Amino acid sequence: MTIHEWMQTFLLQLKTVPLLEWMGVAFGVAEVLLARANKIALYPCGIVAVVISTYIFFNTGLYAESALNLYYFIMSVYGWWFWIKRKDHAAPAISSSTKRDWTIAVAIVVTAFVLLYAVLTNFTDSTVPLADAWVSATAWAGMWLLAKRKIENWILLNISNAFAIPLLLYKQLPLYAALTLFLFIIAVLGYIDWNKKIKQQTHAPAVD
């Protein structure tokens, strides 16, 4: 399908998009903007977004993406708790991933990909098991790093986003594809912002 045909599909989709899908996209946009700003409100917004998206993706045959949103729900609750358990409720410090963090993240990607691909090919009618499993596996690892306030979360989330855009277009969900493109751009900006904050933390004078 050509770019022009994709644009026509996108415009047709906008005319028939149900309110529930608009709500899912709106809360998804709010979540990523709040994540970039390092605000705790990203978690309640994220929870609403994933509940809606889980339903939509399941009904379009993106089963791994649907399961991914259930994982997002769990990690959003965990991230919210991880934040508010701090006595002063201040934003947890942003940091770079350690070797252990990377080992866990890679293990999440590999394990999730193998399991999801096996389930999709053997127990569902998925027409895109490889892409669906890969998009979800890399996002799982990225969300775990986000909950731990690790800057590399943006890298893994954007690997997922880069593959998700053509997948969503193929599944004729151009509104979600447009949202994912937006998330890709925000993730790049988020990485830049977090990198600046890490440098500021590193060079901040010690308090006696």
SS3 state at 95: strand
Tell me how many domains the chain contains.
1
| Residues in Cβ contact with 49 at an 8 Å cutoff, skipping those fewer than 6 apart | 24, 27, 28, 30, 31
- pLDDT for res 90: 61
User: pTM value?
Assistant: 0.77
Q: Report the percent of the chain where pLDDT is more than 90.
A: 37
pLDDT score recorded for residue 2:
67
Contact 27, 52 (CB under 8 A): yes
Q: What is the largest CA-CA distance in the chain?
A: 63
Out of 1-5, 63-67, 115-119, least confident range: 1-5
Does residue 52 sit within a domain?
yes
Residue 4 placed within a domain: no
pLDDT at position 132:
94
In this prediction, residues 84-101 reach a mean pLDDT of 78
Residue 1 forms part of a structural domain: no
Closest CA to 45 of 69, 74, 24: 24
Token pair listed for 76? 């959003």
pLDDT in tens, 4-30: 766 676 667 666 677 888 888 888 888
Secondary structure (DSSP) of 141-154: HHHHHHHTTBTTHH
In a domain, 181, yes or no: yes
- 196 part of a folded domain: yes
**Within-domain flag for 11:** no
Asked if residue 71 is part of any domain, the answer here is: yes
Between CA 101 and CA 148 the distance in angstroms is 9
The answer on pLDDT for 207 being more than 50 is no
pLDDT at position 208 is 43
Encode pLDDT of 115-173 as tens digits.
Answer: 999 999 999 999 999 999 999 999 989 988 988 889 999 999 999 999 999 998 888 78
The answer to the question of residue 5 being in a domain is no
Summarize pLDDT for 157-171 with one digit per residue, the tens.
999 999 999 998 888
Report whether pLDDT(108) > 90.
yes
Host domain of residue 69: 17-89+96-203
pLDDT at 35: 74
Q: Do 157 and 146 meet the contact criterion of CB atoms below 8 Å apart?
A: yes
- Find the distance separating the first CA and the last CA of the chain, reported in whole Å: 63
